[in-house]
Amino acid sequence: MANAPIPKARVFHVETQLHMQARASGGVSRAQAVKAASMEVDKLKPAFDEWLGQEIALLVEAVERAKQGAPCGDWLDVAMIHCRQLHDVGGTMGCELVTLVADLLYKTFEGVAGGAECRLDTIVCYVDALQLVSKDDYRAIGPDQTPDLVAGLRKMAEHVNGVAM
Amino acid sequence: MRRPHADAKRRAGTGWHCAPDDMTRGSLKLYDLHIVIAEANGFQSTLVQSMLRGFGANIIHETRSVAATMHLLRDRRIDILICDAKLPTEGGFELTRRIRRDVESPNRIVPVFVMASDTREVTVNAARDAGANMVIAKPMSPSALYDRLSWVALRPRQFVDSGSYFGPDRRFKIEGYPNGVGRRSTDTPLEVADDAGPALEQTDIDSLFKAAREGRD
CATH number assigned to the domain with residue range A45-161, chosen from the 4 options 3.40.190, 1.20.120, 1.10.1740, 1.10.40: 1.20.120
For residue A135, the model assigns a pLDDT of: 93
For residue B18, the model assigns a pLDDT of: 42
pLDDT digits (tens, 9 = 90+) for B61-74: 999 999 999 999 99
* Neighbour count for residue B217 (Cβ, 10 Å): 7
- Mutating which of A6, A16, A38 best tests the B interface, going by the most B Cβ atoms within 10 A? A16
- Residue A101: closest CA among chain B residues belongs to which residue? B4
The answer to whether B86 contacts chain A (CB < 8 Å) is yes
For residue A11, the model assigns a pLDDT of: 94
* Phi, psi angles (nearest 5°) of residue A57: -60, -40
Name the CATH superfamily for B7-20+28-214: Response regulator (3.40.50.2300)
Rounded Cα distance, B132 and B114, in Å: 7
The answer to whether A16 contacts chain B (CB < 8 Å) is yes
Q: pTM for this structure?
A: 0.81
Q: Name the average pLDDT for chain B.
A: 80
ipTM of the complex: 0.91
pLDDT digits (tens, 9 = 90+) for A67-118: 999 998 899 999 999 999 999 999 999 999 999 999 999 999 999 999 888 8
Q: Which residues pair with B205 in a beta bridge?
A: none
CA distance B161 to chain A (A): 5
> What are the residue boundaries of the structural domains of chain B, listed by start?
7-20+28-214
Contact A8 B185 (CB under 8 A): yes
Q: Which residues pair with A29 in a beta bridge?
A: B27
Rounded Cα distance, A82 and B124, in Å: 23
**pLDDT for residue B21 is more than 60:** no
Question: B18, B35, B217, B42: which is closest to B136 by C-alpha?
Answer: B18
